[in-house]
Amino acid sequence: MAEGSGLGKMGEWKLLQCLGEGLQGKVFLAKNVKTNETRALKYLFKSKMEEKQFQNLKREVAAMDSVKGSKHVVRMLDIDWKAQLPAEASEDGKAWDAVCIFLEVCGDGELFNYLMFTGFFDERLARTYFKMLVEGMCDLHSKGFSHRDIKAENLLLKDGILKIADFGFSAKHELSPGKLTKLRTQCGTPGYMAPELFNSAEYDGPPVDVWAAGVLLFVMLVGSPPMAQAAPADWWFDRLLANQHELFWRAHEQTGHVLSDSAKDLILKLLTPSSKKRLTLAEVKEHAWFKGDACTEKEAIGALCDRKQIVEEKREEDRKEKETERRRKRRQADGSSAFDPFQRSVVLRDLPGSQTKTIQLPSLPASTRLPVTNFIPPCGTSAKETWVNVMKTMDGIFTSGEFKLVNVSSAATSTLFF
């Protein structure tokens, strides 16, 4: 996106484009106007946070701060507790009070996009990124934190390196060295949530992350999730509960894609329904499949190069759609008088004596399909000129021989075609 996109500034930081949004905030790509450095600015709106959400934010910041030196965790570079989202970047045209977290930019995007748009990875590439994930999780767990929302959407790529992001559900499972505590909040993304999150009042944090890592490894290798949800009545999960592993794999292999025996073994040990019997991260590192050959960082970049072009095209399409929607909402919020061929009235502002007049448009049948291009006014056209042009176009359409009434169904539904 061009730097003059009109998203405003916060101090020395110019907002370039929206990277994503959630229930409580938005993330923007920003550039420092003095140093040209780029950052991802994560705005969390205070008006959308109650006390509980604010405490969760404090835990998120504490978790990220504890692992800021980890190679496989998105680095938190700064935080502004009294920030404001510029009015130009908001949908209602108003500045929003927020907490702003400054993060390193991971320009290659989410691992999810690579899997969604380009398919599963071969075992060597999957092993490469799984090792990076395990290293990042080990760093986090060693500081006494559990992530609780490990998934492909929360894993970002930067120059071939995988980095864990979004610590909004993170929690302390080790209050002090050796002093462990149970966690109680049911949270996460259903398809990645461990069974104990559904059937226990309290649980241990690290095994929950291990289960999610097992789901992710399956997705990387197969291209689809192992089950809908780790709860009874899910056919796939029930096969794991009943130790019907051969049936579990036979069903998944109907697509013709078959994994190595070593990969299957590791996945089953990660997706063990009992958290007590599930592998620890230390045991994962000792597994034969984990110790297999992996790509170098340079090889990983090369392996994703062709995939990245496809992902970038999809991301650009998505960005344009979101930008169009943002502008539409902004026009609605500020009462913009930009001409809309489907609105029921037009305000004329160019009348003599600075007068204004509202003209009601005639109602048309709901089934009418009008060629929108006929109503796009030239740049600089006034509201009055636009209305005159519209009337001329309408008059020409309804008196032309091309205007026909066509029955399109036995129910005598009428549609207007041009």
What beta strand segments (E) does 72-227 contain?
Answer: 76-85, 96-103, 145-146, 155-158, 161-164, 171-172, 174-176, 179-180
- The mean-pLDDT minimum among 84-88, 103-107, 146-150, 410-414 falls in 410-414
Are 138 and 230 within one domain?
yes
Are 179 and 267 within one domain?
yes
Are 163 and 243 within one domain?
yes
Does the residue 145 lie in any domain?
A: yes
Are 118 and 235 within one domain?
yes
**Residue 181: which CATH number?**
1.10.510.10
Q: Which residue in 139, 149, 204, 209 is the catalytic one?
A: 149
Query: Do 230 and 195 form a contact (C-beta atoms < 8 A)?
Result: yes
* Helix, strand, coil in percent for the chain, rounding step 5: 40, 20, 40
Q: Which domain holds residue 245?
A: 111-307
Mean pLDDT, the chain, rounded, equals 82
Are 177 and 285 within one domain?
yes
Token pair 């490990």 is found at 150
Does the residue 314 lie in any domain?
A: no
- In order of 16, 105, 169, the CA distances from 40 in angstroms are 10, 5, 20
Are 97 and 171 within one domain?
no
- The mean-pLDDT minimum among 3-7, 153-157, 306-310, 349-353 falls in 349-353
- pLDDT tens for 27-63 read 999 999 999 999 999 999 999 999 988 998 999 999 9
Does the residue 85 lie in any domain?
A: yes
Does the residue 99 lie in any domain?
A: yes
pLDDT at 4: 44
Does the residue 326 lie in any domain?
A: no
Q: Residue 261 above 60 pLDDT? A: yes
Calculate the CA dihedral of residues 401, 407, 412, 415 and round it to 10 degrees: -70
Is residue 149 annotated as a catalytic residue, yes or no?
yes
Are 300 and 176 within one domain?
yes
Q: Residue 418 above 60 pLDDT? A: no
Are 89 and 118 within one domain?
no
Residue 81: alpha-carbon gap to chain centroid = 24
Are 260 and 399 within one domain?
no
Q: In whole angstroms, what is the distance from residue 8 CA to residue 14 CA?
A: 6
Does the residue 323 lie in any domain?
A: no
- Name, in order, each residue with C-beta under 8 angstroms of 374's C-beta and a sequence gap of 6 or more: 393, 397
The stretch 213-226 carries a mean pLDDT of 96
Calculate the CA dihedral of residues 324, 328, 331, 335 and round it to 10 degrees: 170
Q: Residue 415 above 80 pLDDT? A: no
Coil/strand/helix, residue 14: strand
**Residue 72: which CATH number?**
3.30.200.20
Q: Residue 288 above 90 pLDDT? A: yes
The stretch 339-368 carries a mean pLDDT of 49
Are 151 and 263 within one domain?
yes
- The mean-pLDDT minimum among 126-135, 354-363, 366-375 falls in 366-375
pLDDT at 91: 83
Are 78 and 154 within one domain?
no
Are 299 and 158 within one domain?
yes
Does the residue 291 lie in any domain?
A: yes
Beta strand 345-348 pairing with 357-360: antiparallel
User: Higher-confidence residue: 113 or 129?
Assistant: 129
Q: How many domains does the chain have?
A: 3
Does the residue 165 lie in any domain?
A: yes
Confidence of residue 356 (pLDDT cuts 50, 70, 90): low
pLDDT at 319: 73
Q: Residue 330 above 90 pLDDT? A: no
Q: In whole angstroms, what is the distance from residue 199 CA to residue 28 CA?
A: 38
Confidence of residue 318 (pLDDT cuts 50, 70, 90): confident
